[in-house]
Amino acid sequence: MRSKINLQYTKIMFSIPCVLLMSCSNINATGFLTQNVYNDDVDFTFNNADLIQTYATETYQFNENLSVTTTGGQQVVYAMEGSDLTFNIAQDKTFSINGYKNGNILRSSSNNSANPATFNINGGHLFIDQTSFNKDIGGLYTDNNGYININNQSITINNVGNAIELKDQSKFNITTGNIEITNAYRGIAMQSNVGGYTAPNILNLNSANNISIEAMQTNGAGIYALAYTGLVPPNVITLKANNDIKIDSAAQGIASFGKNEISLEAKNIDIDGGTRAIYSRGYENLDSLVTLKANNSINLTSNDTGVYSYRNSTVNLNASDITINATKYAIYSNAIADTATSLVNLNANSIKLGSSDNYVVYSANDGSVVSLNAKDVNINAVWSLFADNSGKINITSDISNINITNDALRAYNGGDITINTNTNILNSGINAIRTNTNGKVTINAPINQIKGDMYSAGGGEIRTAFSSNESKFTGSTDITTGGIIDLAFSNDATWYNIDDSTLSHLRLNKGIVDMSHTSGGQDLVVATDFSGSDGVFVLDISPDDINHGGTQTDFISIASALAPASAKIRISSSSIPSLSEYDFSGSNKAIWFGDVHNNVTFTSVQSKSMDDVYDYVFQTDINVRGGGSVNGNNWFLVGYGKRQNEAANSIINDSILRYLDISTLELDSLHKRLGEIQNYDEKDGIWARIIGAKGEYNDANINFNNKYNMIQAGYDKRYDNDYGDFFSGFALSYKDNDMDYKFGKGDSKNIGLALYESYFNEDKYYIDFILKYNHIRNKFEAFNDIGQTMQAKYNTNMANISLELGRKLQNEDGYFITPLGQINYGYVRGVDYTTSTGIKVEQDNINSLIGKLGLYAGKDFEQSSHYFKFGVLKEFIDEYGVYMQGKKESLHKTINIDDNWYEVGIGGDIWLNDDKSKTIYYSLEKTFGGRYETKWQATAGFRYLF
């Protein structure tokens, strides 16, 4: 049964005996509630009246839905001083209110009385909806020592001015399943008036699911707190959600003015503020504190500023992932006064910042500090991280990745930027780092990669080190009016200089300054101190600019070196073609490339390139021509020599491995392939074997190691006639061959087919003939000691023909010797290919003819046979050729292959049954005395006869 009451403005004082009610409590209030317990749906409709207004302790139980519709201006529920009003809404039932005109819908206020006013809502759902927005209407309101406590299933508030509002030492405690505020002017509003109050406002909101606040009305704020008083302790707003907190606002997502502590905690926090996602501003000596903590992510977006911290303000963000995207500032921090502070602290696994129209991070004035602490820091923006007027920006991370369209890091007027990270990646479209007027930038990173120029003036400082071969700086430097740029390069870290550069300090310890990165001549000036040893300058040197009068030869100027220092000079690969044809004879032909302090000495190193077949060694000398030195000594390039380089060596090494494929590596024998065939009685046989080996090639300047593994399987059939026994068969094989040498490695894979015919007779003579074909898929790579690389790959084919003759001589005790001879011819088809660096290679056909004389000695047992072997081998072919055409030079290399060597080994057969139809055979051998030595080769096979 539904009870619907429609009343106009009326005030009634009820006093009903409790025996008539289901609850023994008198009603001492004005309004429309006439009983303490409602078991039916109740719908109140009235104008300019209260549902209830009370100073007393009242409890109402609603077991069904409670609905209020009003068009007046009175509060729907008003708990006044000294009251303790409780609404109990049954589970899954709803207390709904709509149609209100102005004022606050649910209010608790003691009107400055010492007796608090308390309003409690328990159970069910609370639903407030004004149908259309009305800024003059408040939702839940408490002031002047008023308390509101809610413990229910959900709260929904739509179309009101301030959805939840607290003033002047009032309190909210809300525990709910879900809270949703939509189309509000302010989702949560808190204010403390000046003077007269000694206690703070406190709001605790706890949601078992989500908290959602939408304040998209003009100048709307998701959370707004104002406290320009000297309250101790501060006003407090605490929001906690088991799942997510989401705030959308037209202006500020969170706005804190004065002495407030605002805290949000959830799995994910998402705040979109039209002008500022977070606005925190202290007042005089009153501190504003905003803290966000998320298990997963914090996402802040704004058409203006993500985080705005101003004068005695602290903003703390803690999450696994923090993302801030804003049109202007991602983070703005300004302490404004000498005695004030502004602190913004981000702590996360991942921090991502982005902005488009202003500085992505701005920290101004002494006391302003922005700290980014994360495993990964990623910043993508148009404008800088800017520390101004003694403001500070600190980044501590494992990886810092900063990409800025304009200047990346700016420190002016005593501003300070410090980056401590394991890997720093800094990319800029203009200046990577710019300091002025005592601004300072310091980067400490084992892996340091910076792209963009550096500029320092007016006592500004830039200090950073590049200390690994993964570290690099691509850009130029410039100092004026007392600016300091102090750069250190070590352990093959490289500076790719792109323009004329001036810096105060250059520390070069096994580091590289590559001035050839940009073509044309650049000047490098070290003004205050050059130090280090074993560093390298890579220079463009041109015969058309020998006196530093043009723009084609790089030039080094070192005004001061406080201690003895040294460096090496390497000529760029692009300079070599013209220099290799230049006549250096006579001092007037020497090329001037440096004017340096007396404490600095230069030595030349090989100028290397993997696109040619030679490296060049250029000679340097001092003061070759007349003319004074400004700094101490003039340095000149005076001549050159050349040597075969790693690119050519690797091509030669690879060709030798092809030769070995048809000679030593493929030189097979009957015993290694099939075992002792004279003991086989059945007609058909299948077999399989595996081979593993390791070897080393040494000849003059050619040295490499190789190891290979092969698997082979075959079938043969036995035929008997009056002349003896014949075995006709075939085999398939796969071989993986790896080569390793000082400056490279190779890998080839061979797939092969073999046809063989073997014969023996009753006098124990044997003949073994085999024809083999292999297809080779080959690749190799090479590198030099300055990090240049070359790769190549090609396919080719090879063939072998082998004939082996021998006789087994055996006594009655089973001892035997087997003298043998063998001839093996091999052929590799020549191949033309081009390396990845442009070297064209023409490899000739390779031929091999090897003769072998050897001896087996051993004994046959009842179920096995074992032997020792020895052989002498000779290669009868003299040589083959390889032609290489590099960028500038060509090389035709003749490879001598005629050789003599020896082999020793052991082997045998083990019969697994009496009829010898199942056999395991093995061999272990090595070679020595030749250019190539097999350190060991092991073979294991199994043969089955049927």
Q: What is the pLDDT of residues 409-431, one digit of tens each?
A: 999 999 999 999 999 999 999 99
702-709 average pLDDT score: 93
Handedness of CA 912, 916, 918, 920 (dihedral sign): positive
Cβ-defined contacts of 866-870 (< 8 Å, 24+) = 866/906, 866/907, 866/908, 866/909, 867/671, 867/816, 867/818, 867/906, 867/907, 867/908, 868/904, 868/905, 868/906, 869/671, 869/903, 869/904, 869/905, 869/906, 869/907, 869/925, 870/902, 870/903, 870/904
Residue 227 in contact with residue 202, Cβ under 8 Å?
no
Q: What is the pLDDT of residues 771-793, one digit of tens each?
A: 999 999 999 999 998 789 999 99
DSSP state of 844: P
Which band of pLDDT confidence, cut at 50, 70 and 90, is reported for residue 671?
confident
CA-nearest of 707, 712, 711 to 665 is 707
Q: What is the pLDDT of residues 129-163, one digit of tens each?
A: 988 888 888 999 998 889 999 999 999 999 999 99
Which band of pLDDT confidence, cut at 50, 70 and 90, is reported for residue 286?
confident
The pLDDT score that the predictor gives to residue 15 is: 32
The pLDDT score that the predictor gives to residue 75 is: 81
| Helix/strand/coil for 575 | helix
487-506 average pLDDT score: 97
Amino acid at 425: I
Rg (CA), the chain: 45
The pLDDT score that the predictor gives to residue 12 is: 33
Q: What is the pLDDT of residues 330-355, one digit of tens each?
A: 999 999 877 899 999 999 999 999 99
Q: How many CB atoms lie within 10 A of CB 698?
A: 13
Amino acid at 814: G
What average pLDDT does the chain have?
91
Which neighbouring-strand residues pair with 236?
A: 202, 261
Q: What is the pLDDT of residues 570-588, one digit of tens each?
A: 999 889 889 988 999 888 8
Give the C-alpha separation, 209 to 266, whole Å. Answer: 9
Residue 144 in contact with residue 94, Cβ under 8 Å?
no
The pLDDT score that the predictor gives to residue 573 is: 83
Which band of pLDDT confidence, cut at 50, 70 and 90, is reported for residue 111?
confident
Amino acid at 137: I
The pLDDT score that the predictor gives to residue 113 is: 65
Give the C-alpha separation, 826 to 662, whole Å. Answer: 5
pLDDT at 9 over 70: no
The pLDDT score that the predictor gives to residue 333 is: 98
The pLDDT score that the predictor gives to residue 665 is: 84
Give the C-alpha separation, 62 to 75, whole Å. Answer: 19
Q: What is the pLDDT of residues 151-198, one digit of tens each?
A: 999 999 999 999 999 998 899 999 999 999 999 999 999 998 655 567
The pLDDT score that the predictor gives to residue 587 is: 85
Q: What is the pLDDT of residues 840-854, one digit of tens each?
A: 999 999 999 999 999
DSSP state of 623: S
Q: Determine if the pTM surpasses 0.75.
A: yes
Residue 248 in contact with residue 278, Cβ under 8 Å?
no
Pairing of strands 37-38, 125-134: unpaired
H-type helices in 567-638, by residue range? 576-579
CA distances from residue 415 to 159, 380, 388 in whole angstroms, order as listed:
46, 21, 4
The pLDDT score that the predictor gives to residue 704 is: 94
**Exposure class string for 392-411: b at 16+ Cβ within 10 A, else e:** bbbbbbebbbbbbebbbbbb
Output the 3-class SS for 395-408. EEEEEEEEEECCCC
Which band of pLDDT confidence, cut at 50, 70 and 90, is reported for residue 824?
very high
108-120 average pLDDT score: 84
pLDDT at 674 over 60: yes
pLDDT at 2 over 80: no
386-405 average pLDDT score: 97
Give the C-alpha separation, 846 to 855, whole Å. Answer: 29
3-class SS shares of the chain: helix, strand, coil, % to 5: 5, 65, 30
pLDDT at 40 over 90: yes
Q: What is the pLDDT of residues 720-741, one digit of tens each?
A: 888 888 989 999 999 999 999 9
**Percentage of the chain surpassing pLDDT 70?**
95
The pLDDT score that the predictor gives to residue 240 is: 98
Task: Return phi, psi of residue 647, to 5°.
Answer: -65, -50
The pLDDT score that the predictor gives to residue 7 is: 40
Give the C-alpha separation, 757 to 360, whole Å. Answer: 81
Furthest C-alpha separation in the chain: 137
Q: Which two tokens stand for residue 918?
A: 């199942």
pLDDT at 275 over 80: yes
Q: What is the pLDDT of residues 451-492, one digit of tens each?
A: 999 999 999 999 999 999 999 999 999 999 999 999 999 999
pLDDT at 21 over 50: no
Give the C-alpha separation, 744 to 748, whole Å. Answer: 14
Give the C-alpha separation, 678 to 725, whole Å. Answer: 9
| Helix/strand/coil for 811 | coil
Q: Which two tokens stand for residue 931?
A: 């250019």
pLDDT at 680 over 90: no
Q: How many CB atoms lie within 10 A of CB 933?
A: 17
Which neighbouring-strand residues pair with 390?
A: none
Which band of pLDDT confidence, cut at 50, 70 and 90, is reported for residue 596?
very high
What is the CATH code of the structural domain delimited by 692-945? 2.40.128.130
